[in-house]
Amino acid sequence: MILFHSPLSPFVRKVMVVLHETGQLGRVTLQAVNISPVNGDEQLNQGNPIGKIPALRLDDGSVLHDSRVICEFLDTQHVGNPLLPREGSARWRRLTLASQADAIMDAAVATRYETFLRPADKQWDGWVAAQGEKIRRSLANLEQEHLAELASGFDLAAIGVACALGYLDLRQPEFGWREQQPGLAAWYAEVSQRASMLATLPTA
């Protein structure tokens, strides 16, 4: 299989962490791509017309894109404990938590695009502030409602949250989330030392 990736993408990192955690890294060849919202990649677009990363080209030539799809596929391809419950209410709760982590990443990536790629005279400060509020509300909710769930196992939901926090540290170190969410900060300090997280640590 071929994984189209950029190591600075939190969504790519999530897939890479799953590959490490499930012992499947050796099954995948990494193909780096350098894209932006206005610049694509010809090979990436084959079978993946929207040009998203991560994208996983399977052995039969078909392409999976969107990190959630790829992670769920990989979760069916290993022999260990599943990273998401297979059925029941627990599955939907964990999927919703995983979606919340992705939403934090979406808002953080959107902020990066607005503040780094868009010319300064065209940046929309109110829109950036709204993205920040989404992130703050989500982190507060994780602190207040979901710490025990996150601590119960390093599954897809926990992996997503860890990658979202890592991306905030990378791109918005001034965000100061640790002061507001000390419980989440303590949890992240622990999981960030996992081999999978250290191996995928992004550097600017």
The alpha-helical segments, DSSP class H, found in 59-124 are 67-75, 88-112
Query: pTM of the predicted model, to two decimals?
Result: 0.92
Per residue in 143-200, pLDDT (tens digit) is 999 999 999 999 999 999 999 999 999 999 998 999 999 999 999 999 999 999 999 9
The first and second tokens of residue 100, run together, are 């919340």
Round to whole Å and give the CA distance between 109 and 97.
19
Single-letter code of the amino acid located at 193: Q
Q: What is the pLDDT of residues 53-107, one digit of tens each?
A: 899 999 999 999 999 999 999 999 998 899 999 899 999 999 999 999 999 999 9
* Residue in 74, 73, 142 with CA at minimum distance from that of residue 103: 142
